[in-house]
Amino acid sequence: MGEIHFVGLPEDKFLEEALAIVGKAKDMGIQLRIIGALAIYIHSDNCPVCREKFRTLGRFGEGQPLFTDLDLMGYGKQRKNIKKLFEEILGFKPDFYINRLFGTKRHIYYHPKGYYHVDVFFDKLEFSHDVNFKNRLELDYPTITLADLVLEKTQIHQINRKDIIDLIVLFLSHEVGDKQEKEIIDGKYIAKMLADDWGFYYDATNNLKLVKKFSDMFLKEGKLDEEEYKTIIERVNKLLEMIEAEPKSRKWRKRAKFGTKKPWYREVEEVVR
């Protein structure tokens, strides 16, 4: 498919469209959840100051729309119904090349008026490290859980500024706890996932330390105040302590012996659209 030039939508309109898609899926009995920055934006709706940090911290370019594409997670067993939803009901155009080549793992659909594209992943994210969503989508709506959002962002081996800012906003707007609750980050679940995969643990903990480093920089630049900075650091530290305290699996301990002497992450190639 040729290069697509997206028009872009104001964030309120984009959010409205994203929620409508997930809502239509729900009406059809399809489990579709919003992931990525938009999911964090949705979860920070009870904290206007937190939402404003997306702009204050430079998450989005000057004059650029906040969101240009929609990322969703679904179950592979519902792939046919998801295809029907986008193509027959919503009138989106499929990316035939990507959908044929990577069809069991992801689909891409283009808005009929060229406003944005939708990337639908099935069952798990497979980038630097795997984030599995088996039996996880039912735990929250319209997004994946906060814990899964933390895992989604911290699995990135070469994390960029945007993803660090996403994490800063997430920790600023939500406490860390030890069980699944809609507006609490389930640190226990995160710790358990990382306790079985040394490579994921290594990148995730380094990325959480980068969240603290960038928060310090933003404090010095006056983009975070003292109270905001303190909140973020305390919550990240609490999560790091929970991760360290969690008993590690035999597989984790065995892999830890080699450390970074052998590759611990998957090389990721961007899908050309």
pLDDT in tens, 237-269: 999 999 999 999 999 999 999 999 999 999 987
Lowest-confidence pick of 111-115, 205-209, 233-237: 111-115
User: What ranges do the domains of the chain cover?
Assistant: 11-261
Q: What is the percentage of the chain residues whose pLDDT exceeds 70? A: 95
Top pLDDT among 143 and 102 is at: 143
From CA 201, how far away is CA 217, in angstroms rounded?
24
Is the confidence at residue 270, as pLDDT, over 70?
no
Place of tokens 């939508």: 9
Q: What is the mean pLDDT of residues 33-52?
A: 94
Lowest-confidence pick of 142-151, 170-179, 207-216, 264-273: 264-273
pLDDT in tens, 117-143: 999 999 999 999 999 999 999 999 999
Q: What is the mean pLDDT of residues 21-34?
A: 98
Is the confidence at residue 272, as pLDDT, over 90?
no
Q: What is the pLDDT of residue 4?
A: 46
Q: What is the pLDDT of residue 34?
A: 98
Q: 90-122 burial by CB neighbour count: b if 16+ within 10 A, else e?
A: bebbbbeebbeeeeeebbbbbbeeebbbbbbbb
Is the confidence at residue 106, as pLDDT, over 90?
yes
Q: Using alpha carbons only, give the angle 5, 11, 16 rounded to the nearest 5 degrees.
A: 100
Is the confidence at residue 67, as pLDDT, over 50?
yes
Q: How many residues does the chain have?
A: 273
Q: What is the mean pLDDT of residues 194-221?
A: 98
Q: 33-49 burial by CB neighbour count: b if 16+ within 10 A, else e?
A: bbbbbbbbbebbeeeee
Q: What is the mean pLDDT of residues 171-194?
A: 97
Identify the band that residue 65 occupies on the pLDDT scale cut at 50, 70 and 90. confident
Lowest-confidence pick of 56-60, 164-168, 180-184, 234-238: 56-60
Identify the band that residue 46 occupies on the pLDDT scale cut at 50, 70 and 90. confident
Is the confidence at residue 63, as pLDDT, over 90?
no
Structure tokens at 99: 């959908």
From CA 94, how far away is CA 91, in angstroms rounded?
9
From CA 109, how far away is CA 98, in angstroms rounded?
10
Q: What is the pLDDT of residue 7?
A: 55
